[in-house]
Amino acid sequence: MDFFNNHKYLFGAALLLFLGLTLAVAILPAISNQNNNAPLPQAVALSDEAAKGKMIYIAEGCVACHTQQVRNVDMDKLWGSRPSISADYADIKRTDFWRNTATLMGTERTGPDLINIGNRQPSSDWHLLHLYNPRAVVSQSIMPAYPWLFVEKQNPGKEDIVIHVPDEFRKKSSGSLVASQEALHLVAYLQSLKQTPLPDGTPQPSFLYKAEKPDVKEMVGNPEEVALPDGQALYSSNCQACHQPNGEGLKGAFPALKESKIVLDENPELFVKIIMQGYDANPAFGVMPAVGINNQLLPEAVAAIMNHERTSWGNSARKVTAAEVKKIMELIGKEVPQ
């Protein structure tokens, strides 16, 4: 029993136990993860601007309310096209020698998941306005505003990025609101958050508890037409953030779809072009991204969105067919997603 009476033995045994546990519980699993997980082949490294934005994202506490993980449950399909896998996080490195990075996967989803926000919402104008005052674009939002990321200038320069803020959210400011470099870096990081496609031939992780849905291509009525998906739901996930639930947009920021000549035009060609290619012809509003291409919308989905917009909020225009939209998509020279 001399072991228990000898402090050298006791402290030596405690040290060996500590080192053994550290090796077994922390070091070996970390080496295994490092050796067995790598970024996906098509993964894009963060740009310098996005890397700086990541640090602002962490410093401003965004990780407290937003996750970056798509769970393998059907309800998470809203946030990404597939469940997250370990390779999605393999390129996240330490901040520096002394500091580990924040837990970007998040632990609480008070706000929406952001792992694919760069695809879901690619508009920099929307992100900047949302940072300045989230209620300007989402009236029910509980996210805090970040006005300190913007400066007021009476005479902004050519290089300044001026944000279009509706009058009711300007807080009596008379000058132009200009995004700071910190705001631009943060937006660059948010725009970089895109789910990387899996390599060809790789089994796609499955979502659990799938709800039964009818085949949107089930033939109905006219054999040349197909049943369209829910246009209102597609509008909510692809368009509503900017153009608002009432279709009235935001004055000085995003145009109204209600009573819009483009939306109601008998010839839908320009309407389809705007959805697929984006729009930047009106300096009074922010740039519209190429929603159709970015979100890989099929002709059926585009037709459903258009029909919802053409028949809602008092609008009354003829409905378009998926075949009509597909023909226009082919004419404008853009590949139709399959």
Q: 164 and 220 share a domain? A: no
Query: Quick one: 187 and 247 in the same domain?
Result: no
The residue among 154, 176, 192 that closes a domain is 192
> By mean pLDDT, which of 149-153, 176-180, 291-295 is the weakest?
291-295
Which has more confidence, 127 or 225? 127
Confirm whether 33 is domain-assigned. Answer: no
Q: Which residue has the higher pLDDT, 282 or 195?
A: 195
Q: What is the pLDDT of residue 228?
A: 87
Same domain, 187 and 55: yes
Q: Are residues 108 and 174 in the same domain?
A: yes
What pLDDT was estimated at residue 338?
A: 53
Rounded average pLDDT over 176-195: 95
The share of the chain scoring above pLDDT 90, in percent, equals 45
Whether the per-residue pLDDT at 1 is higher than 70: the answer is no
Q: Do 222 and 313 belong to one domain? A: yes
Flag whether 21 is in a domain: no
pLDDT at 51 over 70: yes
Q: Which of 158, 176, 192 is the last residue of a domain?
A: 192
Mean pLDDT taken over the chain = 86
Same domain, 188 and 116: yes
Residue 290 sits in a domain whose CATH number is: 1.10.760.10
Taking the whole predicted model, whether its pTM rises above 0.85 is answered as no
Mark whether 169 and 83 lie in a shared domain: yes
Range of the domain at 109: 48-192
The reported pLDDT for the residue numbered 219 is 40
Look at residue 18 and tell me if it is in a domain: no
Distances (CA, A) of 144 to 77, 191, 222, 246, 276: 26, 20, 50, 24, 33
End-to-end CA distance of the chain: give it in Å, rounded. Answer: 76
Helix (H) or strand (E) holding 8: helix 7-22
The predicted pLDDT at position 212 comes to: 55
pLDDT of residue 142: 92
Q: Give the per-residue pLDDT at 91.
A: 85
Same domain for 141 and 85: yes
> What was the pLDDT predicted at 220?
44
**Residue type for position 119:** N
Instruction: Kindly state the average pLDDT of the residues 180-204.
Output: 91
Asked whether residue 5 is domain-assigned, the answer is no
Q: Are 124 and 107 in contact (CB under 8 A)?
A: no
- Least-confidence region, from 29-43, 177-191, 305-319: 29-43
Q: Do 225 and 173 share a domain, yes or no?
A: no
315 belongs to a structural domain: yes
Measured N-to-C along each axis, helices 48-59 and 181-192 cross at an angle, to the nearest 10 degrees, of: 100
For residue 211, being part of any structural domain is answered with no
Using 50, 70 and 90 to split pLDDT, how confident is the model at 178?
Answer: very high
Q: Where are the beta strands (DSSP E) in the chain?
A: 150-153, 176-179
236 and 138, same domain (yes or no): no
- Looking at the structure of the chain, the number of domains it has is 2
* Residues 311 and 254 both lie in one domain: yes
Contact 218, 226 (CB under 8 A): yes
Residue of 335 and 277 predicted with greater confidence: 277
174/85 same-domain check:
yes
